[in-house]
């Protein structure tokens, strides 16, 4: 008799989740959030379960692949690159009034996106806010006054989201709309005094942004290597401190990347380690980089075990970005990655800039013309214009599909033409100007 598969099996990396059920000698695997499954994860699943006795059912939305490139990994091919046989295009979250406005954002041209809900409650119109350099700080309050017109009985979940949360005075980020926005949960800003502080943070905030936790752990490893004065050589054969890119690249060349990745995954997904388990983890980490107990005391202190976060880091994790309008309404401000999977009553998408391009400006025609040719994404060249524009569509689709009742956009008035203005009006958008001294 063949050995049966385990009755229940969970595998969580990023947003991947699957359940194995047994019926006689046959197995059925249900994989949710398949669109964010990376190639190495998909390959592992196929190696374990690809056989005649197992049925693999993959579920997900390829239009929402915004986590697939985490850590520089390749996306899966078995799902995101496949011609899907069964497509569920009806939404239970929003009504047809929102579905018809975001249909064109579907990277995979899901042309029949609709809703099985009745016309949603509320009277506030879906609005595009136009601001200029003098009125950008009034965008959130203008949105807040519009939300107050919603006639829903329950307590409202109101969010404003943008693609870029990192501070960049010369760019266009969430902070340009509100000086009080503080992305101290971001990897480069969380200043851990010990490596295990980062692991503690991951274990306490498992529902947070997995990508940010991964980057934070990488930064912790880079800090450790710097403390040990461990260096690598660049293309000019010069000794330099490791970067994220050179670290991952060297591990891949040494065929130790899989061990390194498994270690990081355990810190993100598993329970907080015991003292003995941490000692084993540090032994594995030091073996990967050729380190030993003769390291500098500063480095040894950095990898010591600790079961508590320092008070200032505990306070740091409790920070929320909540903007309070003059009418008393609170708007939670976040990145698009931070709200994936959530449902809001009202969502405002803030235009932000990546490289040379502003996301809403580059995507506005897709709100107008559902048949417009999509940019071709190239995972081997993710920083080229077509790939960046493709990522804009996916992120905007994720953000625009969050609300039940009200969807709004904020875009600089110079980033929309008169022709686009007229076309958006014809699609049912209310377009309102934001002024420096009063609301839209």
3-state secondary structure at position 385: helix
Reduced to 3 states (helix: H, G, I; strand: E, B; else coil), residue 333 is strand
Q: Are 346 and 358 in contact (CB under 8 A)?
A: no
In a domain, 33, yes or no: yes
Residue 61, pLDDT > 80, answer no
What range does the domain containing 206 cover? 195-316
Q: In degrees, to the nearest 5, what angle opens at C-alpha 352 toward C-alphas 348 and 357?
A: 140
pLDDT digits (tens, 9 = 90+) for 106-146: 766 565 665 556 665 556 899 999 999 999 999 999 999 99
Under 8 Å CB-to-CB from 54, ≥6 apart: which residues?
A: 5, 26, 27, 28, 29
Per residue in 219-241, pLDDT (tens digit) is 899 999 999 999 888 888 888 89
- With a CB cutoff of 8 Å and minimum separation 6, the contacts of 177 are 136, 137, 139, 140, 160, 162, 333, 350, 410
Of the candidates 86, 104, 136, which is a domain's last residue? 86
For the four alpha carbons of 101, 107, 113 and 119, in that order, the dihedral sign comes to negative
In a domain, 156, yes or no: yes
Give tens-digit pLDDT for 302-336: 999 988 776 655 555 545 688 999 888 889 999 99
Choose one of 263, 296, 316: the last residue of a domain. 316
Which segment of 90-104, 223-237, 402-416 scores lowest on mean pLDDT? 90-104
Classify residue 354: in a domain, yes or no: yes
97 and 82 within one domain: no
Domain check: are 309 and 247 in the same one?
A: yes
CA-to-CA dists, residue 233 to 155, 211, 236, 241, 243, angstroms:
56, 27, 8, 8, 11
Selection from 229-238, 344-353, 373-382 with the highest mean pLDDT: 344-353
Domain boundary (49, 65, 86) is at 86
CATH number, domain containing residue 325: 3.40.50.300
- Identify whether residues 326 and 408 lie together within a single domain: yes
Q: What pLDDT sits at residue 190?
A: 60
In a domain, 190, yes or no: no
Q: Report yes or no: 339 and 168 within 8 Å, Cβ to Cβ.
A: no
For residues 311 and 227, state if they share a domain.
yes
**Domain identity same for 416 and 355:** yes
Domain count, the chain: 3
336 and 357, same domain (yes or no): yes
> What is the chain's mean pLDDT, rounded?
80
Q: What is the DSSP letter of 38?
A: B
- In 3D, which of 373, 397, 377 has the Cα closest to residue 387? 377
């Amino acid at each position: 008799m063949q050995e049966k598969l385990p009755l229940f099996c969970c595998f969580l990396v990023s947003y991947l989740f699957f359940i194995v059920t047994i019926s006689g000698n046959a197995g059925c695997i249900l994989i949710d959030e398949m669109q964010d499954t990376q190639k190495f994860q998909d390959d592992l699943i196929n190696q374990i379960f690809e056989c005649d006795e197992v049925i693999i059912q993959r579920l997900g939305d390829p239009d929402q692949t915004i986590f697939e490139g985490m850590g520089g990994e390749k996306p899966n091919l078995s799902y995101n690159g496949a011609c899907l046989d069964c497509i569920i295009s009806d939404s239970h979250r929003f009504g047809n009034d929102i579905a018809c406005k975001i249909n064109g954002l579907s990277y995979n041209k899901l042309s029949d996106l609709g809703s099985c809900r009745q016309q949603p409650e509320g009277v506030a119109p879906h609005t595009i806010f136009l601001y200029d350099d003098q009125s950008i700080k009034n965008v959130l309050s203008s949105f807040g006054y519009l939300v107050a017109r919603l006639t829903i009985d329950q307590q409202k979940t109101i969010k404003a989201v943008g693609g870029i949360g990192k501070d960049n005075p010369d760019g266009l980020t969430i902070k340009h709309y509100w000086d009080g926005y503080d992305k101290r949960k971001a990897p480069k800003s969380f200043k851990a005094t010990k490596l295990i502080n980062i692991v503690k943070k991951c274990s306490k905030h498992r529902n947070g942004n997995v990508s940010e936790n991964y980057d934070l752990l990488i930064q912790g490893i880079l800090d450790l290597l710097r403390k040990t004065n461990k260096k690598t050589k660049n293309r000019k054969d010069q000794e330099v401190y490791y970067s994220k890119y050179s670290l991952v690249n060297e591990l891949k060349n040494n065929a130790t990347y899989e061990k390194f990745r498994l270690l990081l995954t355990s810190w993100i997904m598993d329970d907080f380690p015991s003292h003995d388990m941490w000692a084993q983890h540090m032994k594995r980490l030091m073996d990967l980089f050729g380190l030993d107990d003769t390291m500098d005391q500063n480095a040894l202190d950095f990898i010591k075990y600790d079961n508590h976060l320092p008070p200032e880091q505990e306070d740091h994790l409790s920070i929320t970005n909540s903007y309070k309008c003059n009418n008393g309404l609170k708007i939670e401000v976040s990145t698009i990655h931070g709200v994936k999977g959530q449902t809001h009553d009202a969502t405002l998408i803030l235009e932000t800039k990546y490289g040379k391009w502003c996301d809403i400006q580059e995507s506005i025609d897709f709100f107008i013309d559902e048949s417009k040719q999509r940019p071709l994404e190239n995972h081997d060249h993710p920083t080229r214009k077509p790939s960046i524009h493709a990522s804009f569509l996916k992120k905007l689709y994720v953000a625009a599909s969050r609300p039940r009742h009200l969807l709004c956009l904020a875009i600089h008035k110079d980033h929309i033409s008169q022709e686009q203005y007229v076309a958006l009006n014809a699609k049912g958008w209310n377009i309102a100007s934001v002024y420096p001294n009063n609301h839209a």
